[in-house]
Amino acid sequence: DRGGYGHNWMGFSFANHMMFSGGFEDLGDWIFRKDSSYPAIQNATISGPNVPGDTGTDFYNLKIDWSVPWNNFGTAITDTTNAWSITMRSRDGVQTGDITPRNLQQFRVTPGNTVNWTNTNVSTGLAIQSGTATAGADGLVTIPGVQILTGSGNRLALTIDRQVTKFGEAGIVTNVSNVWTKVTLTNSFTNPVIIASGPSYKGGDPGVIRIRRVQANSFEIQFQEWDYLDGNHTNETVSWVVFEAGTHVLDDGTKIVVGTANVNHLIRRVNATLPANAAVLTTVQTTNGGAAIVPRIRNVSTTGFEAAVSEQEAADQFHYTETLGWVAVQPGNTTAGDISLHAGRTPDMVGDANFLYAFGQIGAATSPVVLASVMTFDGADPVTVRQRWVSATRIQLFLQEEQSKDAEVSHTWEQLGILALEPGTLTKPAVAAGGAPSSGAAFAVPRIPTAGASLFQAATDLLFGLDDRDELSLW
């Protein structure tokens, strides 16, 4: 019995009415909005004991406000990708409390990352506290001992440095010959996919780029002449990019989709969700069969493409299964962290004659990484892309056939996928703990407390320990 009220379990008759009624003036409408973050408060110094037992009266975070539309006394909550701030006040003397931002809409912290925080006196504009805190395994950050002022209150602000994930690395190797060359990466990758195509034209004999021994931080590369030739080849310059397999979304929303497929001499379908009008580039990752091969693809769409490998024209056209690496890049100009890049398609007009493609200035690069790969199967003869020259803004290239069966080297027009970028490490925004912001109804009923828990503790867990995207409605 409390205050003459019978059976008043969890009645909260002395609660902070304006803070939790949502402005509806009825404590039966205690609600947390689903589309707004809030502070979970612990160890407030003007509170009573945290857990008084299953019966009795206590006061917990009774006189702490924060500014919301229905209790608007200061600057609204800021909840962005890299910053979160809130205006708070105490209505019963200065106190301190441990503050954990909850139900976050955009502010996400990767577990283990550091958060910078500052607590400012709203009246004076002066910082009264500052420091750093580390996100736990669940991505939650708790700021201990935050001073909660009276009057205009205080503004608690959390910021994080831009969090990124490395998903690629680009470079140029200048000594690719018939001798295998090891390329050591700056970064390590879990499921690396190597794209290397469109070599220079320092040696006139036709051939293909082969990749083998793909490791977390290295791979080997070779220029393999077609089998009817003597196999010796001078050094060529080859651009390469290593991508982590998967779908990568850049800051501006540009998608880069990377994968592998098992292919042989028979055309097979590779199913994948690709960006519309994507530039698709391919490179064989293995050397299961010793014969020189070139990957060919066709019928590229948003649901995938068809792929096979071709040996020289005079061969038996049977080839062991190889691993084909592929990348599909949404067309246009964008940045992957500090790396500028361009992706596009040529018209279906590239043949054995020289073709000029202008990709424009790529960041500050004077020698950009430029790759080109055939995306169509208009001509059946085996063919590869060769670079005549490349500048800071353009590339001249052509299609080169081999002559194992006949002397003619003319080739019908094909469409190419082009990727031009600065050398270096590609990054994207990190996906922190908590996933995407919540959506749907603005209010909802919480989950039932765990059986056997203290009734008071269960209630305060609901009030101040909600999981992200959970809401409260007590009655």
Q: Is the pLDDT of residue 377 over 60?
A: yes
- Report residue 54's pLDDT band, with 50, 70 and 90 as the boundaries: low
Q: Which residue has the higher pLDDT, 448 or 125?
A: 125
Q: Which two tokens stand for residue 199?
A: 């070599």
| Alpha carbon distance 470, 462 (integer Å) | 9
What is the phi/psi pair of residue 14, to 5°?
A: -110, 25
Enter the pTM of the model: 0.67
Beta strand 322-329 with 255-263: parallel, antiparallel or unpaired?
antiparallel
Percentage of the chain exceeding pLDDT 90: 71
Instruction: Provide the residue type at 130 as one letter.
Output: S
* Pick from 2-6, 51-55, 171-175, 352-356: least confident: 2-6
Q: Is the pLDDT of residue 446 over 50?
A: no
| Alpha carbon distance 323, 261 (integer Å) | 6
> Phi/psi class of residue 153: alpha, beta or left (left: φ > 0; alpha: ψ in -120 to 50)?
left
Q: Is the pLDDT of residue 428 over 80?
A: yes
What is the phi/psi pair of residue 9, to 5°?
A: -55, 125
CA 42 to chain centroid, in Å, comes to: 33
Q: What digits encode the pLDDT tens for the residues 274-322?
A: 999 999 999 999 999 999 999 999 999 999 999 999 999 999 989 999 9
Domains in the chain: boundaries: 17-162+442-474, 165-429
CB 323 within 8 A of CB 194: no
pLDDT of residue 88: 96
